[in-house]
Amino acid sequence: MLTGARLKIAIVHDSPRVTDSSKRLLMEVKSTGNNAYYLRISKMGLKVGDYGCKFTYGSKELPKLDGAIIRNLGFLLTIEQMAKRMDVLRELKDEGTYVINDPDSMTLARDKLGSILRLRRAGIPVPETAVAEDPFDVMRLVEEWGEVVIKPIMGSLGLGAIKVSDPDVGFRVAKSVLAVNQPLYVQRYIRKPDRDIRVFVVGDEVVGGIYRVNKSHWKTNIAQGATAQLIEPAVELYEFSIKVTKAMGLDYAGVDIVEDVDGTRRVLEVNASPLWEGIESATKKNVARHIVDYLLKKTRK
């Protein structure tokens, strides 16, 4: 139940069509009696002058927002577009809007190499990883590691990831990636029992954890056909996932974990704008409500 004045909460994305996850968040904000707005990040701007800073949305001035949930920063952005969007979101935060996830932490999570480096510094196990801009380097990595996964350095849902065990194939894949001016992000493939783990963290709590099982393909993303199986609450796994989320500076996250042959849990990726269909189907929990409740609690502090 709403106590006090209505809060103004924005869901930020760049899709011209309101996405399913954004709809859910908007619905949950409205159900608490607060005002909800869907904002396309490409239409957000600001004016700066002696009067201070004013935020705009198209031709209109934005009202003062109490909170914002960033779901997407946009796709295939130029450096200049990313700089503009980040500057607007940083200023929004600096002007007193509680923004989740933090814009800089979202950018870090989007960068797979930056994420791996941050996690390693925090003492969190990660797969052996390399980056290169030479196809011969990839060839040598396949020869050394036997089996590798070549991924986009930025991306999600398992899209664009290719498993390679032949050095010549690795060379050809690397040439194709370099032809579109993308660096090569290569991880040693970790053999897993037809599954990996996704844990959904909000604040200091775990909403739930699932095994993502795919017996017909090595990719275990739900978007790639994997099925969700509930993991019974496990204190050690949950504490590990919360530690990972905090190391990345995120308010909420989907933490993707793989079990190594020796039982070591290694973090593959940390998703700063995770989808939650698999978690909800397994746990029967309202993930969108957990995120909204967390944000409202923060905005009222």
Average pLDDT over residues 189-195: 81
Q: Do domains 109-125+192-293 and 129-188 have the same CATH topology?
A: no
pLDDT in the model for residue 219: 66
The 8 Å CB, 24+ separation contacts for 240-247 are 240/124, 240/265, 241/199, 241/201, 241/206, 241/209, 242/201, 242/204, 242/205, 242/206, 243/122, 243/124, 244/119, 244/122, 244/124, 244/201, 244/270, 245/201, 245/270, 247/118, 247/119, 247/122, 247/124
Q: Is CATH 1.20.140.10 the right assignment for the domain spanning 109-125+192-293?
A: no
Fold of 8-100: Rossmann fold (3.40.50)
Q: Which two tokens stand for residue 220?
A: 């275990």
Residue range 33-91, pLDDT digits in tens: 999 999 999 999 999 999 899 999 999 999 999 999 999 998 878 899 999 999 999 99
Per-residue DSSP letters for 254-293? EEEEEE-TTS-EEEEEEESS---HHHHHHH---HHHHHHH
Q: pLDDT at position 225, please? A: 65
In the chain, domain spans: 8-100, 109-125+192-293, 129-188
For the cut 90, the answer to whether the pLDDT of residue 276 exceeds it is: yes
C-alpha–C-alpha distance, residues 198 and 189, integer Å: 18
CATH architecture designation of domain 129-188: 2-Layer Sandwich (3.30)
Task: Check pLDDT > 50 for residue 1.
Answer: no
Entry pTM: 0.89
C-alpha 275/C-alpha 120 separation (Å) is 25
User: What pLDDT sits at residue 2?
Assistant: 43
The residue type of 176 is S
15-37 pLDDT, tens digit each: 999 999 999 999 999 999 999 99
Q: What is the pLDDT of residues 210-264, one digit of tens each?
A: 988 876 566 666 666 677 889 987 899 999 999 999 999 999 999 999 988 788 8
pLDDT in tens, 85-117: 999 999 999 999 999 999 999 999 999 999 999
Average pLDDT, stretch 9-19? 96
